[in-house]
A = this chain, B = another copy of it.
């Protein structure tokens, strides 16, 4: 085989990546404030000074973790939005993407939910965060336009409510308060769509 990057993955593993991955684990374990720069470096197996070779500060490490992963999330959501499907199906897609991230990378979700979502850090990234709400809002509006969703609802508020429900379930898992497991994720998917689309009330 010719591709050496596969043959010797670790040699090629760039330290910046190592540091970012370590940071996710350490932030997940200790929280942003509880995490010492030295802990991250140790977890990454590098000298702590190297962290400052790649990032200007501990906060920039967190910001980078957020930025890179949020961007990936946004891309996925944009693909879902672009799908040729009815609005309720798109909502299912968004729900899947967000809820399944928990099983996929629990540490990352831990960090995103606890350190970024409502925290005072990274308020600069407000625009990036807002875009998730906008995706949801556009889906709701599309549903309203197509007559799938009720038109008497404020689409913006609805998007915040939906996102809140999703994030709260992630939070339940993060805090160990909601039962975990693939089945539970599937059940949560169903439930949120049932509640949000169908409503609690018996028809």
Contact = CB atoms under 8 A, between A and B. Distances in A.
Nearest to A188: B157
By secondary structure, the A interface counts as: helix
Q: How many copies does the complex hold?
A: 4
Nearest to A167: B164
A148 B201 contact: yes
B118 A150 contact: no
Contact of A195 (B117, B161, B203): B161
A160 B163 CA distance: 12
Contact of A197 (B118, B197, B200): B200
Interface residues of A, number: 57
A119 interface: yes
A189 B154 CA distance: 11
Given A157-B178, A158-B195, A195-B196, A201 B168 contact: no
Interface stretch (A60-68, A69-77, A169-177): A169-177
Contacts of A201: 88, 148-150, 197-199
Given A161-B195, A162-B195, 14 more contacts: A34-B120, A117-B171, A149-B201, A150-B194, A150-B198, A150-B201, A153-B195, A158-B191, A158-B195, A160-B165, A160-B169, A167-B168, A168-B168, A198-B199
Interface of A: 31, 33-34, 88, 91, 113-114, 117-120, 123, 126, 130, 133, 140, 143, 147-150, 152-154, 156-158, 160-169, 171-172, 174-175, 177-178, 187-188, 191-192, 194-203
16 contacts: A31-B119, A88-B200, A114-B118, A118-B175, A143-B200, A148-B201, A150-B194, A150-B200, A153-B194, A153-B200, A154-B187, A160-B165, A160-B168, A161-B165, A161-B191, A163-B168
